[in-house]
Structure 1
Amino acid sequence: MDLFNNLAIGFGVAFTFQNLVYAFVGCLLGTLIGVLPGIGPVATIAMLLPATYALPPVSALIMLAGIYYGAQYGGSTTAILVNLPGESSSVVTVIDGYQMARQGRAGPALAAAGLGSFFAGCVGTIILAAFAPPLTELAFKFGPAEYFSLMILGLIGAVVLASGSLLKAITMILLGLALGLVGTDVNSGVARYSFDIPELTDGIGFIAIAMGVFGYGEIIGNLSQPAEQREVFTAKVKGLWPTAADFKRMTPAVLRGTALGSALGILPGGGALLSSFASYTLEKKMRRAPGEVPFGKGNIRGVAGPESANNAGAQTSFIPLLTLGIPPNPVMALMVGAMTIHNIQPGPQVMTSNPELFWGLIASMWIGNLMLIILNLPLIGVWIKLLTIPYKWLFPAIVLFCAVGVYSENNNTFDVWMVAVFGVVGYAFLKLKCEPAPLLLGFILGPMMEENLRRALLLSRGDWGVLVSRPISASLLAASALLLVIVLLPAVKAKREEAFVEE
């Protein structure tokens, strides 16, 4: 009964006129900007974060959550229509979604992504509402040693989820950890690796790295191509809804993807991307029906499964944020920033000290998912028209929007230059075929790992054995070691690479 009482409180908060308006604005803005090539949920929320400063805390988080879902929907739209994943978890959607678009079946592909995401989002929200309170009890058992071991598991997870070479993924994580060390020492308060630049004493801004590597890096990469190769694909969408045969094939894929995503999304280290990768791998292993299109050639299961897993993982990724105070991915890190701005400390105490915010946010997720499905299905034609804008006009608008967004964060031109520098770095990553997601996760988790490790060592008087003498910490480290061993096995490496090959 407590669950229903709490949800009643949440829907009472979410169904106020003000919060409904902010949920709608968040969904609309997130979808609109998420559709633009080169900008995903991280850059979208980063740009629009300053707009929430003056809002009440509940409204601000509801709007940001709406932006998150909207940008994810938009990311799948660009993946299907123009072969450009709007975000890292749409990488797998590109493989079959773009092939469907080339065959004039963009409508069924977009509908499959939208309907699968809606169903998975609803299931993920139910799991969040049902299991967040019990997990909060577990959160109270976490000390510095457990937090450190959990973040190690997250970084190992980042190695697993990265496409391409494992060596490159590990290098990107180490680079992210190194960038996270720039700033002021946790214990002594002395500036380190700042090269006597005053703006670096507070560390490198996460938004500057995210916008530069993902936004500007993608733009520079597109501009480096000949004009005919970066021309937006403009095939006409024939029909919106999947056929009866499509529904028959995609429904089991949606159910499998939802189950996988709900479980894997709870893990720190990018659960949504890990979920979409695992779902695509699973679908490829399932037996194909007679006459079914091969994977990599436009199979609707290759769109519906990963998109469902991605959205379910996105919903359940709120669990470690709200119960443990740990952001499992870059978007959740920005949500932590938004909560901090409004003097809310993320963690177990949110549920007890601010139940209206906690349950209002959960209730708004249902409303946001419903708004997105109503918004996106009729607007497919509009998004296609938006993407037919010549790139020579589109990219200056994206560059300007990013610059305005990062400047408005601190009113500092240094941040704008930092975005430009990381844009060049992002382009270098593209040329070297390095996946930037592990770098961002290393950058986020690095300072938190350092703080918790040093705190654990202080409490244990310098005894490193504290990491393995506490049961939860030892279990997390054992899981990390097991995951690393599994991913390094030759058979698993081959399967992992096969899932990312664009045939």
Structure 2
Amino acid sequence: MDKLVYLAEALTLTNLGLALIGVVAGIVIGAMPGLSATMAVAVLVPFTFTMDPASGLIVLGAIYTGAIYGGSYSAILVNTPGTPSAIATTFDGFPMAKRGDGALAVSLATLASVTGGLVGALLLMFLAPPLAQVALAFGPPEYFWLAVFGLTLISALSVGNLLKGMIGACLGLLLSMVGIAVIGADVRFTMDSQILLGGINIVAGLIGLYCIPVLIDLVATRDPHLRVAAESGGFRLKEAFAITMKEKVNLIRSSLIGTIVGILPGAGGSVASLVSYSEARRSSKHPERYGTGEPGGIIATESANNATVGGGFIPTLVLGIPGTPPDAVILGALLVQGIRIGPTLFTTQGSIVYTFIFGLIIGTLIMLPVGLLIGRYAYKSIVAIPKSALVPTIAFMTVVGSFAIHNNLNDVAVMLGLGVVGWLLNRTGYSPSPIVLGLVLGQIAEQGFVQSYLIGNAQGNVLGMFFGRPISMAIVAFAALTLFYPLIAAAIGARRARKSHTDITVESRDGQP
């Protein structure tokens, strides 16, 4: 009965209005390259201090979930991830938009995002205390192997040219090592430049490697940036719903992966979407379609990165450990509001927490009609806007987004430099995705490896630290399966083809008089 009271509180006109405003604001901010969910939440936190604690948390949660979803718009329509968590959405989203299925791709992203957000929020409500213990079971070795698991996605992104994919990933790993080391404070690869002391910012690198090559190509070609099939119009919601139901196993699996990865402090939506994409491709009957406009890729990535919203709140509320960067900002807002974080939070201040969780669920549901409406007009607008107006607009947003990360022009310089390098690499057949993958996961892998080595060396058991923990070995097994699955699948396919050919030959001989 208490939960019904909290639900009624979340359904008041004030909280509904705040959830609607938060979702709309989050979607708009998330769709702009460089303006991440963390930035959106951080900017608006001071405005919540005068609100009721539950209402303030509802608007922050709505902005957070809206921004994560909003990143899919630019990822699908202009091949530019609005947020880091939308990196993997570009793999199949933009190819769908190029062939005239942009409206369908946006509808799929909306349905997947809403489902993933609901799964994460419901697990937050019912399983927060036990799931929080999962985060405590992950140490440095598990984070290292989790990053390695994410890097195995390179085999999926580089079908047909695995060598170039590996080279690109190694370049990304080198970029992640630029600057002062997290552990040991060694200065590396800065070339005596003050600009590079802070390292390559992930968001600046993401914008440069994805946005600048797109802008250069838009300027260099006369072809329209998108074309629309004449028969496809509206939301294409019925078609999107049918595809989503067909991919229901992928949808639920990716939502659970997103929730679990969200629980792990520091992992976030980018890791969740990459891992879920890898698993979706591995388990697909047609893995070769991924990367060419496969709807299952969008469903996997968008359900996973939105599930991290609810998953990230689990260690934040129960343990006081932020699961994702925006959770760290929201944790600060909780402390300012006088809310005491810990295992007893759900009993001592249950009215605030459960009202917030119901508000998060309501905000996620609001995202369905609002997202479809905004997505429809966003698609039509981007298709209709001439390149002479689209290119300067995107260029302006990339500069503003890079500068706004730390209010530092150095990030803009890094973004532009990597953008030119990314364009040159594109011309020689190197995809930006493995490079970004190495950049995103390199820091996690390095920190996990160094910490694991130091602890293992102190205990006199380095190999045991890396290979003697059950969770680590499970992750290693999944990583090996994902890495070698394309080779295994190709070998099985070739054997079946030979067997089929042999059977046909035998039957034809037996049929002769």
TM over 0.5: yes
Alpha-carbon distance in structure 1 between the residues aligned to 2:142 and 2:105: 42
- Deviation readout 1:57-85 (Å, 9 max, x if unpaired): 84445413211112225644668xxxxxx
What corresponds to 2:364 in structure 1? 369
C-alpha RMSD over aligned residues: 4.4
- Deviation readout 1:139-196 (Å, 9 max, x if unpaired): 2223323332332223224544556532233223222221222222344434222222
Alignment of 1:73-472 (within 5 A): 73=73, 75-76=75-76, 87-95=87-95, 99=99, 101=101, 111=107, 114-115=110-111, 117-119=113-115, 121-123=117-119, 125-127=121-123, 129-160=125-156, 165-224=161-220, 226-227=221-222, 229-233=223-227, 240=234, 242=236, 246=239, 249-250=242-243, 252-265=245-258, 266=260, 270-273=271-274, 275=276, 303=295, 305-318=296-309, 321-322=312-313, 335=326, 338=329, 352=343, 363-379=358-374, 380-381=376-377, 383-460=379-456, 461=458, 463-465=461-463, 466-472=465-471
- Paired residues in the alignment total 452
- Deviation readout 1:367-394 (Å, 9 max, x if unpaired): 3332232224344246403431111112
- Deviation readout 1:102-160 (Å, 9 max, x if unpaired): xxxx7666555544554454345434544554332122223323332332223224544
Q: Secondary structure at the match of 1:140?
A: helix
CA contact (8 A) 2:77 2:382 kept: no
CA contact (8 A) 1:177 1:443 kept: yes
Structure 2: 5+ residue runs without aligned partners? 49-55, 80-85, 262-266, 317-322, 495-513
Over 3 Å counting, the alpha-carbon distance change for 1:149 and 1:378 in structure 2 is closer
- Letter paired with 1:313: A
Alpha-carbon distance in structure 1 between the residues aligned to 2:418 and 2:15: 36
- Letter paired with 1:467: F
Over 3 Å counting, the alpha-carbon distance change for 1:281 and 1:51 in structure 2 is same
**Range 70-79 or range 419-428, more displaced:** 70-79
Structure 1: 5+ residue runs without aligned partners? 80-85, 287-294, 326-331, 496-503
What corresponds to 1:51 in structure 2? 43
Alpha-carbon distance in structure 2 between the residues aligned to 1:248 and 1:475: 34
How many angstroms does 1:438 deviate by?
3.4
- Letter paired with 1:173: A
What corresponds to 2:498 in structure 1? none
Alpha-carbon distance in structure 2 between the residues aligned to 1:125 and 1:398: 33
CA contact (8 A) 1:232 1:390 kept: no
Alpha-carbon distance in structure 1 between the residues aligned to 2:282 and 2:467: 34
Over 3 Å counting, the alpha-carbon distance change for 1:489 and 1:242 in structure 2 is same
Over 3 Å counting, the alpha-carbon distance change for 1:342 and 1:454 in structure 2 is farther
Structure having the higher Rg? 2
Alpha-carbon distance in structure 2 between the residues aligned to 1:204 and 1:306: 28
Give TM-score, length-normalised by structure 2: 0.71
What corresponds to 1:483 in structure 2? 482
Over 3 Å counting, the alpha-carbon distance change for 1:434 and 1:139 in structure 2 is same
